[in-house]
């Protein structure tokens, strides 16, 4: 479980959070590429100020009260029920 964490300005590449629980995590200023949140539980996770987001997998993720960018890049995959 990752809780109450600031991941600000981090580079997160080729990372697998599948099945993990993330709660109140802030990715402001982060660069995220080739990351899987498949089957993860995301609660109040803030992706709204991510600098780079490419090839992100949210398949079967439980998304609760999360924030996403206004504009979605072509390589960014979003869960249908966000």
| Structure confidence by residue, pLDDT tens digits, 4-45 | 999 989 999 999 999 999 999 999 999 999 999 999 999 999
What confidence category does residue 69 fall into, taking pLDDT thresholds of 50, 70 and 90?
confident
Give dist(CA 62, CA 30) in Å, integer. 22
Give the pLDDT of residue 34. 95
Of 16, 52, 46, 51, residue with least CA distance to 33 = 52
Which residue's entry shows tokens 């981090």?
A: 10
Residue 65 predicted with pLDDT over 60 = yes
Asked if residues 34 and 54 have their Cβ atoms less than 8 Å apart, the reply is: yes
Q: How do residues 44-53 score in pLDDT, each as one tens digit?
A: 999 999 998 8
């Amino acid at each position: 479980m990752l809780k109450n964490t600031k991941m600000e300005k981090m580079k997160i590449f080729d990372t697998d959070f599948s099945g993990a629980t993330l709660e109140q995590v802030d990715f402001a200023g982060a660069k995220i590429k080739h990351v899987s949140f498949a089957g993860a539980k995301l609660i109040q996770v803030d992706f709204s100020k991510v600098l780079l987001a490419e090839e992100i997998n949210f398949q079967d993720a439980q998304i609760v009260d999360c924030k996403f960018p206004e504009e979605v890049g072509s390589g960014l995959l979003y869960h249908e029920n966000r």
